[in-house]
A and B are shown apart, each in its own frame.
Chain A
């Protein structure tokens, strides 16, 4: 065996990569050849040093005991129930329905053909269940009663918007716009429990709605840099500045709040502080003692937005291994998560619950700006504004207008743009920053974050006049989060504000 041959094998010998016969050959050669032996000893020494260095530098840390609970929650409290996951269930259900439809069709076809052969007196169309003129009415059945209008005075006046050549129709109920009085709701029955009980002061309709003061509740998150906290806190406040409260969720941000049939539903990003699950969570505020419900399971899931029908949530996540931000949609009960197969961030639904606007770019990573798409065809998105600095779009809940933030010089301002890309106008611009806009439910006001008075705060502005008013002052002049590595690299515009009835 030549010298060179053994030198090549020394590493393999040390790493146990040789067969028994080869090992013996190497050992024999090493005993005979001092040159190879020297190399072997040096390699062996480096091996030993590497092992020592790794163990000295990294130590042997033990798993923190609290982690078991956190991981168990992650795995077991999943929205898909054990034994029979809802996904499988709906798949099976789909198959059964498909089968039934196919059986039904063949029976119908058989019936039609046989009847056709038996009698040629009755025209085909009258025997078919679906008559071509009357829609779903069968020729013999009594006419079904016309559906009574459910909405009180919602005069259907669909706004049609020309969007890049094609005309889309957005159902717009102008009642919310023209009639500023809010829907009066029956008071909630709240049974206080020793669990998380949140005072209800926000709910009492704070100021009366006389005049032009906006109603509803605004949710936002602020990083608390105090040494004992070092995490995000979720705040609720009435738009007149009253009823401010901090929700008892540790490390919670990016709120999306909706008033639904079952009460106030809050979707937020949990950062896994205090042994909470790090994921996108949904919880019912007030009157429920259930723990938060996991909506987006991955810790990267972010920036949720409710559909106006309150049946689903759209969100962004860079959970995939290529770390690209993509859009996902999920039903509010946590089932049917759906990869929209579209790169983008900060999605916001249009009033029709199908269209949405988001920050995006073309497949080559260029043409950054605001894009719109529909749920059914999200990969066929269209740009409405090419501006790499355009961020955090929010689609008005009543019309085809979008508020977004963009950089003018060295600070961010808030602009308005129509959903077809026309009429891009600045609404709020000052030497300070204005950003992360959120429309009021009636579409007449915008809530936003700004450092206009030196410290950061939540402001509201009337869209028509642009007059702004500070409703909550954080008292802090910086938004940099350095203390907690969970939030490394986060910028203030990655947060979001939510305004609901």
Chain B
């Protein structure tokens, strides 16, 4: 069990000495500390915003607001609870959630069928306009988009951001078990949505070969 706990601690990403020093410099308003933080985390935060909101401008706003809100609350950051990255992603995620809630007020859900993206038509090339290989994958993508916000959030964090469930749990401030059950529910729902569309389960033989 000790080994397990060490692994869990590592997954939670308790900050090491170098990061602790950086955090301290940042909390003391060292100008260089911001640049270093930005270099470390901006890319991930940007992708998080992009994945959640699927608009380039909105993703830029996520980065700005995350660093601003983090700066304002920098003295509330507790290194013993989570890593700085997790804390920043948490702030970014909260911003994305409120942004989505705001957008929901603007769009009328029942006007959108399952096959269409929730976003208003966008002239710039968005995620949907790229060609996905195979019908199965495009249907799977549509199914992911039609998941409930809570499930889609967890699926995005796990499969796109490739975050372990432990870290997602810290970000969402809920028990680890909740994340596992949400992932489980999401996969079940995806399988059902695909079955409703008449898509057969992926080729097992191919999968077996992979295995």
Chain B binds chain A: yes
- The CA of A47 and the CA of B144, in the complex, are separated in Å by 13
- B150 CB contacts on chain A under 8 angstroms: none
Given A41-B207, A49-B202, A61-B46, answer yes or no on A323-B105 (Cβ-Cβ < 8 Å). Answer: yes
Determine whether the beta carbon of B127 is less than 8 Å from that of A298: no
Determine whether the beta carbon of B137 is less than 8 Å from that of A52: yes
Residue A44, interface by CB 8 Å: yes
Determine whether the beta carbon of A46 is less than 8 Å from that of B46: no
Given A72-B34, A299-B61, A323-B101, answer yes or no on A57-B127 (Cβ-Cβ < 8 Å). Answer: yes
- B133 CB contacts on chain A under 8 angstroms: 56
Determine whether the beta carbon of B1 is less than 8 Å from that of A19: yes
Determine whether the beta carbon of B101 is less than 8 Å from that of A61: no
| Centre residue among B98, B128, B132 by max chain A CB count within 10 A | B98
Determine whether the beta carbon of B155 is less than 8 Å from that of A50: yes
Determine whether the beta carbon of B165 is less than 8 Å from that of A17: yes
- A45 CB contacts on chain B under 8 angstroms: 202, 204, 206-207, 210
* Contact digits for A72-90, partner B, Cβ 8 Å, 1 yes 0 no: 1011101000110000000
Residue B10, interface by CB 8 Å: no
Determine whether the beta carbon of B55 is less than 8 Å from that of A58: no
- The CA of A485 and the CA of B55, in the complex, are separated in Å by 9
Shortest B206–chain A CB gap in Å is: 8
Residue A318, interface by CB 8 Å: yes
- The CA of A57 and the CA of B140, in the complex, are separated in Å by 11
- The CA of A332 and the CA of B64, in the complex, are separated in Å by 24
Kindly report which residue of chain A lies nearest to residue B160, judged by CB atoms: A54
Which residues of chain A from 140 to 160 have any CB-CB distance to chain B below 8 Å in the complex? none
Residue A70, interface by CB 8 Å: yes
- The CA of A47 and the CA of B165, in the complex, are separated in Å by 14
Kindly report which residue of chain A lies nearest to residue B207, judged by CB atoms: A45
- A488 CB contacts on chain B under 8 angstroms: 106, 120
- B122 CB contacts on chain A under 8 angstroms: 485
Determine whether the beta carbon of A58 is less than 8 Å from that of B127: yes
Kindly report which residue of chain B lies nearest to residue A62, judged by CB atoms: B43
Given A11-B187, A20-B3, answer yes or no on A51-B159 (Cβ-Cβ < 8 Å). Answer: yes
- A299 CB contacts on chain B under 8 angstroms: 61, 64-65
Residue A278, interface by CB 8 Å: yes
Per a CB cutoff under 8 Å, which of B101, B130, B137, B156 touches A49?
A: B137
- A278 CB contacts on chain B under 8 angstroms: 61, 64
- The CA of A45 and the CA of B65, in the complex, are separated in Å by 37
Residue A2, interface by CB 8 Å: no
Residue A38, interface by CB 8 Å: yes
- B101 CB contacts on chain A under 8 angstroms: 323
Shortest A362–chain B CB gap in Å is: 19
* Contact digits for A24-44, partner B, Cβ 8 Å, 1 yes 0 no: 000000000000001001111
Determine whether the beta carbon of B46 is less than 8 Å from that of A67: yes
- B71 CB contacts on chain A under 8 angstroms: 75, 78
Which residues of chain B from 42 to 85 have any CB-CB distance to chain A below 8 Å in the complex? 42-43, 46-47, 50-51, 54-61, 63-65, 67-68, 71
Shortest B156–chain A CB gap in Å is: 7
Kindly report which residue of chain A lies nearest to residue B127, judged by CB atoms: A57
Determine whether the beta carbon of B50 is less than 8 Å from that of A61: yes
| Centre residue among A20, A55, A75, A272 by max chain B CB count within 10 A | A75
* Contact digits for B120-134, partner A, Cβ 8 Å, 1 yes 0 no: 101100011010110
Determine whether the beta carbon of A298 is less than 8 Å from that of B65: yes
Determine whether the beta carbon of A67 is less than 8 Å from that of B63: yes
Determine whether the beta carbon of A58 is less than 8 Å from that of B54: yes
| Centre residue among A76, A486, A488 by max chain B CB count within 10 A | A488
- B160 CB contacts on chain A under 8 angstroms: 51, 54-55, 58
- The CA of A71 and the CA of B208, in the complex, are separated in Å by 48
Residue A409, interface by CB 8 Å: no
Residue A290, interface by CB 8 Å: no
Shortest B171–chain A CB gap in Å is: 15
Residue B211, interface by CB 8 Å: yes
Kindly report which residue of chain A lies nearest to residue B94, judged by CB atoms: A321
- The CA of A76 and the CA of B32, in the complex, are separated in Å by 11
Residue B102, interface by CB 8 Å: yes
* Contact digits for A386-397, partner B, Cβ 8 Å, 1 yes 0 no: 000000000000
- A38 CB contacts on chain B under 8 angstroms: 204
Determine whether the beta carbon of B187 is less than 8 Å from that of A75: no
- The CA of A198 and the CA of B130, in the complex, are separated in Å by 45
Per a CB cutoff under 8 Å, which of B1, B31, B46, B132 touches A63?
A: B46
18 contacts between A and B (CB under 8 A): A17-B165, A38-B204, A42-B202, A45-B206, A46-B190, A53-B132, A54-B51, A57-B127, A59-B130, A61-B46, A61-B59, A63-B63, A67-B60, A68-B42, A71-B67, A74-B64, A297-B68, A323-B105
Interface residues of A (CB under 8 A from B): 11-12, 15-17, 19-20, 38, 41-64, 67-68, 70-72, 74-76, 78, 82-83, 272, 278, 297-299, 318, 321-323, 483, 485-486, 488-489
